[in-house]
Amino acid sequence: MGPMRIPARYPVPRYSDPEDVRLTQVIEASTEPRMGGVNILGAPFDGAVLGRKGAADGPAAIRDAMSAFSNYNVELGLGLEGAKVFDLGDLTLDGSDTLAAHRQIEAEAADDIDPGSLLLVLGGDNSVSLPCIRAASKKLGPLGLVVVDSHFDLRGEIDGKPTSGSSYGLAVGELKNLDPRRAVEVGVHGFLNSRNYYEKAEALGITVVTAREVWQRGPEAVALEAYEVASREAEAVYLSVDLDAVDLAYVSGVSAPSAGGISADQLFRLVYEISRNDKVKCADVVELAPALDPTGRSARVAATTVAYIIAGHVARRERGTRSR
Ligand SMILES: [Mn+2]
């Protein structure tokens, strides 16, 4: 056992209808990762954010928002009542010490990664992706990476420390088994990235798909290409979702809201299509800062994203059944 965790809390459903099992009723608390399912782990840390703080409250807000959902999705023709979803609770992290927090996230995530399951990390600022990717590369072998984000996040360290803008650059720089030619960045757009970081992505051989290309080609086609690139000669694929990829009309509760991003629906379709693939063994959903969006919309989008990732995992087992 690692350090103490804070047990996950889901609100008690406001009503009980045997004809409508709520999504949160499918989720079981667990102190250990379980085989063959989805293991949720909260990383409430925002000590390395470059912009506005608040993502430390992300995991709790995502769980709260999930209580609004049924377990069935009409469009997918898919129910999650038989899903094996376990919640391992929240890590207890020191928000003032990025390096120590990252060491702890890496160690605990490594304990919870299982090649037969999906570890789904709820951030936390985007810096938490780095220790999770490190853990995945150490536990799972040759790794591919699919990122959905408005930003490249290819910065170096600042004052010797990683930030919320450096996770993917540091990961491909230090991890021998994460070939940047197996990294795909989806959703960059607008006046949000420097030419230098675009050229760095190109030089590294990272596949870049802009937000506009998602609108033009459709999320399913983009997801197919992204998984193909990321899974080539890889044992496992890591999916990292920065919610700021979504247009600020849907998601304003993030450190860096983006105008002109992809739509919420496009994000759901992207993550669902990617999560349906067997090699996806680790994922994160980061940057929700609920206090920055008092309407609760951003938390709803975050929670729906989590539900679609779980649905993608369930769809692996149900392949071949009718889908609408
Ligand atoms: Mn971002």
Alpha-carbon distance of 143 to 185, in angstroms, equals 15
Beta bridge partners of 215: none
Residue 14 lies in a domain: no
- Residue 317's pLDDT is 82
Residue 287 Cα to ligand 1 midpoint, Å, equals: 8
Residue 16 lies in a domain: no
Count the domains in the chain: 1
Alpha-carbon distance of 177 to 138, in angstroms, equals 9
* Other beta carbons less than 10 A from residue 266's beta carbon: 23
Instruction: Check whether 322 has a pLDDT greater than 70.
Output: no
Residue 18 lies in a domain: no
Instruction: Return residues with CB closer than 5 A to ligand 1 (ion).
Output: 149-151, 242, 244
Average pLDDT value for residue range 111-133:
97
- Residue 208's pLDDT is 98
Query: Which CATH number characterizes residue 183's domain?
Result: 3.40.800.10
- This model's pTM is above 0.75: yes
Higher-pLDDT residue of 1, 305 = 305
Alpha-carbon distance of 290 to 20, in angstroms, equals 28
112 and 102 in contact (C-beta within 8 Å)?
Answer: no
pLDDT per residue as tens digits for the range 9-50: 999 888 889 999 999 999 999 999 999 999 999 999 999 998
Alpha-carbon distance of 310 to 221, in angstroms, equals 20
Residue 245 Cα to ligand 1 midpoint, Å, equals: 6
Residue 129 lies in a domain: yes
Residue 321 Cα to ligand 1 midpoint, Å, equals: 36
- Residue 293's pLDDT is 98
Q: Residue 202 sits in which domain range?
A: 23-317
Residue with the two structure tokens 């994160």: 284
Residue 319 Cα to ligand 1 midpoint, Å, equals: 33
Residue 244 lies in a domain: yes
DSSP state of 21: -
Residue 131 Cα to ligand 1 midpoint, Å, equals: 17
Which pair of tokens denotes residue 123? 């951030």
Instruction: Check whether 84 has a pLDDT greater than 90.
Output: yes
Instruction: Check whether 2 has a pLDDT greater than 80.
Output: no
Residue with the two structure tokens 């069935």: 72
Residue 164 Cα to ligand 1 midpoint, Å, equals: 8
Residue 300 Cα to ligand 1 midpoint, Å, equals: 18
Residue 231 Cα to ligand 1 midpoint, Å, equals: 23
Residue with the two structure tokens 């299509």: 273
Residue 284 Cα to ligand 1 midpoint, Å, equals: 13
Average pLDDT value for residue range 220-231:
98
Residue 216 Cα to ligand 1 midpoint, Å, equals: 21
Selection from 125, 114, 137 nearest residue 235 by Cα: 137
State whether residue 211 is helix, strand or coil.
Answer: helix
Residue 294 lies in a domain: yes
Residue 113 lies in a domain: yes
Residue 12 Cα to ligand 1 midpoint, Å, equals: 33
Alpha-carbon distance of 9 to 289, in angstroms, equals 18
Residue 106 lies in a domain: yes
Alpha-carbon distance of 85 to 120, in angstroms, equals 10
Instruction: Check whether 259 has a pLDDT greater than 70.
Output: yes
Instruction: Check whether 324 has a pLDDT greater than 70.
Output: no
